[in-house]
Amino acid sequence: MPFCTQCGRPLAEGETCSCRNNSANITPPPPQSQYNGYGYQPYQQGYPQAPYGYGQPYPPYGQPPYAQQKKSNGWIVGLVIGIVLLFALIAAAILVPAMLGYTRKARLSNIRSEANVLRKAAETSMIEIDEEGSNVKGRYIISSDKKDNVAVPFDVDDFNARLDRYFEGAEKYKYFIVVNNGYVEYAALSESWTKKTEKIGTWPVGTDDKPREYSKDGSSVFSDKKTNLDTLYWKAYDEIFG
């Protein structure tokens, strides 16, 4: 005996069950809610949906408007630095020679002043020796190097001891003086006998570039600017005893 595959009712041979005709009009029951053991709906399986909708990806990360790269101002900085360096070079080109010239003139002025102090100290010492009865007559050369003393008529050691009291640079400088009857006609000093680069101070003074040479008649004779103290000494020697 056949049975209905829908409701299970037994059917006669060739009979069609009426449940099939009514199945299309039957509303299916609503799905039953499933609860967990505590009366609440169970947690959803898997990760929660994205806030932008199921299956929608998060928007790509990008820099905010304020973090956008600004235009580089490096060329402005480079230009300013270049201008500053240019002005610095121009200032150096002007000031350095001026400062060197000022330093050279200051050294020359100082060495000339020292030559004048030497002359005054020598004359003071000479006056003391003369007053004590020593002979100061004649023309002679007194030098810081004893071997270069020429025709000195009195005790040179006594003179040097007196000179040290009046001239503080007696130990620092190399010098010679030309004396005529107790009066200094010429004085020259430097920090070296032979270096042509050392400034030479003379009394009477020379020019800015050339030291003055000794002259018996008092005429103005100037030496080469690259001369040294030793050369001036031998020219004075030749002028007096040559």
Q: How far is CA 46 from CA 10, 42, 49, in A?
A: 47, 12, 9
Q: Are 159 and 107 in contact (CB under 8 A)?
A: no
Q: What pLDDT, on the 0 to 100 scale, is given for residue 110?
A: 93
Q: CA 173, CA 200: separation in Å to the nearest integer?
A: 10
Q: Where are the beta strands (DSSP E) in 43-180?
A: 139-143, 174-180
69: helix, coil or strand? coil
Peptide bond connecting 204 to the previous residue in cis, omega within 30 degrees of 0: yes
CA 7 to chain centre: 108
Q: Which two tokens stand for residue 191?
A: 């920090």
| This prediction's pTM | 0.61
Best CA proximity match to 236, nearest among 219, 213, 220, 218: 213
| Residue-by-residue pLDDT tens, the chain, 242 positions | 676 777 767 777 777 777 766 555 555 555 555 544 555 555 555 555 555 455 555 555 555 555 555 566 778 888 888 889 888 888 877 777 666 666 777 888 899 999 999 999 999 999 999 999 999 999 999 999 999 999 999 999 999 999 999 999 899 999 999 999 999 999 999 999 999 989 999 999 988 779 999 999 989 999 988 899 999 999 999 999 98
What is the CB neighbour count within 10 angstroms for residue 89? 10
Q: CA 1, CA 18: separation in Å to the nearest integer?
A: 17
Q: Which two tokens stand for residue 197?
A: 């680069």
* Domain boundaries of the chain, sorted by first residue: 86-241
Q: What pLDDT, on the 0 to 100 scale, is given for residue 69?
A: 58
Q: What pLDDT, on the 0 to 100 scale, is given for residue 114?
A: 96
Q: Is 192 left (phi over 0), alpha (psi -120 to 50) or beta?
A: beta
Q: Are 189 and 200 in contact (CB under 8 A)?
A: yes
Which residue bears the tokens 């898997």? 46
